[in-house]
Amino acid sequence: MTKNIARVVAAGSILLLAPALVLAQHPKIAPDLEGRAANSTVDVIVRFQSAPGAEQHQRILARGGRLNTDLGSMQAGAYRIAVSALQDLANDPDVVYIAPDRPLRGLLDNAAAAVNADIVKSYGLTGAGIGVAVIDSGVSHDPDLYGNRVVYEESFLGDRTTSDPYGHGTHVAGIVGGTGKKSGGRYAGIAPGANLVNLRVLDQNGAGADSTVMAAIQRAIQLKSRYNIRVINLSLGRAVFESYTLDPLCQAVEAAWKAGIVVVVAAGNEGRNNSVNTHGYGTIGAPGDDPYVITVGAMKTMGTPARTDDLIASYSSKGPTAIDHIVKPDLVAPGNCVVSILDKGSTLASEFPGNTVSNFYFQLSGTSMATPMVSGAAALLLQAQPGLNPDQLKARLMKTAYKQFPVSSLATDPVTAQQYQSYYDVFTVGAGYLDIAAALANNDVAVGYALSPSAVFDETTNTVKLAPTAGLENIQAIWGSVAVWSAQVIWGEAIWGDQAVWGDQVLWGDQVIWSDAVAVGSLWGSQAPWASATTSSESTGIAINGEN
């Protein structure tokens, strides 16, 4: 009798699983619909050959479904439908692809845990006494930030308002140092005790100019002693038009660096850009192309506090930099679907109401959100060890970064269902994933400059190797032969497998970092594969919908 029952259960299991297995094998059905019970319903996004109209909607209604949202401009619609009907729907020649209407959630508490910021609480560090200049679209008067937290504010735009009509700068400031007061601390920033200096350079549409950014950097240098400004956050940027040695914006960030201020810059959101057949390589923006600054790419927390399942965001810009071929980014940090302060009256809030998490918080994605993670970490480290100079802090963060990555990963755009493959090479993740606790636990103090190295292309052998920054070879760089600061220690063997980072090993061509995907020569011209004459938070800071 027991054996017969077992056979019946097993047979029943096969009957229940069979539709799911068949479903998963259909090329038009997303693999993550596998395992759904045939008698259940599911919210899906259906992409069509063209913008769906009444006829396409009716076909789904005839199968027992209902329309949730018309996404006609995206040649799609969002529907609720029985799982059992998906196979038949996928056979419709008008249907291109069916994907689950995947939930997008991003919590700053997950992001903080991923970089070990939660452990820092046991140190009693909050960034207190450290000034962080947020050069952005302004900062709104919000209970999570104001009181005596914003110690100085100034606008470099014609309207002179220091509030945030765009909504970007407030979100960034919240990641750096929001208290999380309105969420019971859940959405607190990385350094909730840091002093914030609000320098507004972007307008209500997130656009600005080099001159206003440079004026704000100049002001931060002038106010350094008065407000102990030790960090500048630049979640903005533009295309690279000339060498960093000539670019006035790059020279401005170098001036701040040499004045003793750590400058943290967004890498950009062009990692999916294949317009010149580089698969997103060579798309770092300015001033993130400068070898002095800390340039930050974006990771996805995958909705969990553990970092072991975290993956690179496919939109995160990749190095080497155009023209100078500097190895960038330097670090990666959580940047996808990050929750921070909502400015209800801002442009972003009105344009993307679906990103609202509550009456007080909002989620955004991009390297703009990853950058203040590192700025907050810098404030904590400087509170603990105020004697660190910018190069020593950069070196410490890079050396202690978490370096355990997969060889590659696949990301799916939640709207288009287009897939993007990323490789975890030095031009994608830099020295690794920000680990604040590891940086605080480390006491190594570098002597010299933490200049990001160059990637040098040898036309005779068609290979690329890491080398001292071009034009600065005579400056004493940290990444030398000393074991504590060797390039192998900083960038880690895990990124390269059995390959050495430094020396004679080939880093180009058919090696694992490229996987035959990139045309070798196309990165070495004088032009970046993307261009914009405007300094903007959006060009390097926002991928509004995030990714799966």
- Residue 348: name the closest of 373, 368, 375, 372 by CA: 368
Q: How far apart are CA 31 and CA 125, in angstroms?
A: 44
- Residue 321: name the closest of 474, 495, 529, 488 by CA: 529
Residue 506 clears pLDDT 70, i.e. is over it: no
Contacts of 96 (CB under 8 A, 6+ apart): 28, 47, 48, 49, 75
Q: Are strands 311-312 and 294-300 parallel, antiparallel or unpaired?
A: antiparallel
254-274: average pLDDT? 93
Give the helix ranges, DSSP H, for 196-266: 210-222, 224-227, 248-258
Q: How far apart are CA 138 and CA 166, in angstroms?
A: 8
Share of the chain above pLDDT 70, in %: 78
pLDDT tens figures, 344-370 = 889 989 888 888 888 899 999 899 999
Query: What's the pLDDT at 3?
Result: 33
Choose between 14 and 301: higher pLDDT: 301
Choose between 545 and 535: higher pLDDT: 545
Query: What's the pLDDT at 179?
Result: 87
Q: Are strands 76-82 and 229-234 parallel, antiparallel or unpaired?
A: unpaired
Beta strand ranges found along 270-418 (DSSP E): 294-300, 311-312, 331-334, 338-341, 361-364, 408-412
> At 241, is the secondary structure helix, strand, or coil?
coil
CB atoms closer than 10 angstroms to residue 266: 36
Contacts of 386 (CB under 8 A, 6+ apart): none
Choose between 123 and 531: higher pLDDT: 123
**Secondary structure, 3-state, 131-192:** EEEEEECCCCCCCCCCCCCEEEEEECCCCCCCCCCCCHHHHHHHHHHCCCHHHCCCCCCCCC
pLDDT tens figures, 103-126 = 322 223 345 666 767 677 777 899
Query: What's the pLDDT at 72?
Result: 64
Query: What's the pLDDT at 463?
Result: 60
Query: What's the pLDDT at 531?
Result: 44
pLDDT tens figures, 462-474 = 666 777 776 676 6
pLDDT tens figures, 149-193 = 899 999 988 888 999 999 999 999 999 999 888 888 788 889 999
Least confident of 17-31, 308-322, 373-387, 527-541: 527-541
* pLDDT category of residue 16 using cuts at 50, 70 and 90: very low
Residue 291 clears pLDDT 90, i.e. is over it: yes
Residue 514 clears pLDDT 50, i.e. is over it: no
Token representation of residue 337: 């679907």
Instruction: Write down the catalytic residue from 109, 136, 210, 391.
Output: 136
Query: What's the pLDDT at 293?
Result: 98
Instruction: Write down the catalytic residue from 140, 183, 317, 368.
Output: 368
231-255: average pLDDT? 86
Least confident of 273-282, 311-320, 472-481, 506-515: 506-515
Buried b (16+ CB within 10 A) or exposed e, 406-429: eebbebbbbbebeebebbbbbbbb
Q: How far apart are CA 478 and CA 400, in angstroms?
A: 15
- Does the active-site annotation cover 168? yes
383-403: average pLDDT? 95
Region of 149 (left: φ > 0; alpha: ψ -120 to 50; beta: rest) is alpha
CA dihedral sign, ordered 245, 247, 248, 252:
negative
Contacts of 179 (CB under 8 A, 6+ apart): 143, 144, 145, 149, 185, 188, 189, 192
- Does the active-site annotation cover 136? yes
Single-letter amino acid, residue 180: G
- Does the active-site annotation cover 73? no
Single-letter amino acid, residue 148: N
487-509: average pLDDT? 47
- Residue 405: name the closest of 336, 279, 493 by CA: 493
Average pLDDT taken over every residue of the chain? 79
Instruction: Write down the catalytic residue from 140, 155, 168, 316.
Output: 168
- The single residue listed with the structure tokens 């990641």 is 175
Query: What's the pLDDT at 246?
Result: 77
Residue 21 clears pLDDT 70, i.e. is over it: no
- The single residue listed with the structure tokens 């995907």 is 517
Contact 296, 331 (CB under 8 A): yes
Q: How far apart are CA 299 and CA 311, in angstroms?
A: 6
CB-neighbour burial class of residue 497 (10 A; exposed 0-12, middle 13-18, buried 19+): exposed
Query: What's the pLDDT at 236?
Result: 92
Backbone angles phi, psi at 31, to 5 degrees: -60, -30
Query: What's the pLDDT at 429?
Result: 94
